[in-house]
Structures are given as C-alpha cells and as structure tokens.
Amino acid sequence: MRAVFALQRITSLPVCPLVQTSFKRHVLSRPLRTPFGSRSIAARIPSGASRNRTVATMSSEETAAIAAAAQGLPDSGDPTIFDKIIKKEIPSDVVYEDEMCLAFRDVNPQAPVHILVIPKVRAGLTKLSKATTQHKALLGHLLYTAQEIAKNEKLDAGFRLVINDGPEGCQSVYHLHIHLLGGRQLKWPPG
C-alpha cells in the first residue's frame, strides 16, 4: 500500500480505490516467509473474522509491514530508506545528529510531534529482537537521546516511545528505529 501511495505522491495523480483494494488482495495472497515455513498472509486473519472486513480496516502501515515480511526484507540486510537518509541521499527534517544516531521528523506523523531516532550503523540490528550484548550501549544511547529530544520539543506533559518489531509488530523498515510521539493526549491501549 505504501507503494501505491508513493506512486500517488510522485505522480500527483489520485489512486483509485479499486487499485488500492487490488494491491491489498495481492499482498494478502502472497506467502509469508517465516522460520516456521511459508503460509498465506490471509491465513493470519482470525478465522471468525470476515476477511474483506479485516482487509478494509488495515492501515497502510500494517499493509506495508506485511508486504515487507512477504518480500523477505527482515533478514535481507539490503540498504533501507533510513540508510539513504543517513547518507543524505534523501532529504529529511533532521532534529538531532551525533556520531551514533540520527533523529528526524516522520513524513507521515501520527501525532503533532513524531520523530524517528535511528542508529547510524545497523550492525545487524534490523529489529530489537536481534539485539545482542554488543548493542547495549547503542540501545541505551538511543533511549537517552530520545528523551533529550522530547525535552527540546517541549513534551513536558508526556510522550511515548515505540519500537515496532517484526510483521506482527507492524515493522515495515528493517533498520531499528524508535518512534518518539507526543504533543497530544495519547490513547491506551495503543494496539
């Protein structure tokens, strides 16, 4: 779905709902590669739910996460959009940068303040569940940096840090990143 919306943004042409629906059906029919074998993504929809109703309520992030998993992106190690942002090949609204991390505003904000904090070097850290003891210092630095950015953004009333992990965690870019969200009353439960 992200590809459909990206095409819409690039060409400035509206993408009709039929194309969006066809794309969702295509993504859901593709087999999901997991350590436990392949299975249809549609098979992951609860059996008691109407599949059409469930597909229609999927967010673009959910669709992007499922598509990324179906394409085998989680363990590919290929460069991500974040690698291009770090190299300044893609412009971004950078709010913080040091030798270990980069923080920039999300292009699709889910709150008045939505900033992504990413490590500059992935070092195998495509998602949090891949962290090892060698990543402890980097993970601590990312969290400390996120709270410093929250202070700079005047989020004194509160903020939320989110790390999506894997397809069911709605991760669509396999380069560890922390979402810093704030600037309004956030809801609970988040998922």
Could you confirm whether 177 is annotated as catalytic?
Answer: yes
Confirm if 58 and 157 have CB atoms less than 8 A apart.
Answer: no
Catalytic member of 26, 175, 177, 179: 177
Confirm if 82 and 175 have CB atoms less than 8 A apart.
Answer: yes
* Residues comprising the chain, all counted: 191
Q: Would strands 31-34 and 159-162 be described as parallel, antiparallel, or unpaired?
A: unpaired
Contacts of 111 (CB under 8 A, 6+ apart): 181, 182, 183, 184, 186
H or E segment at 159? Answer: strand 159-162
- The catalytic residues are 177
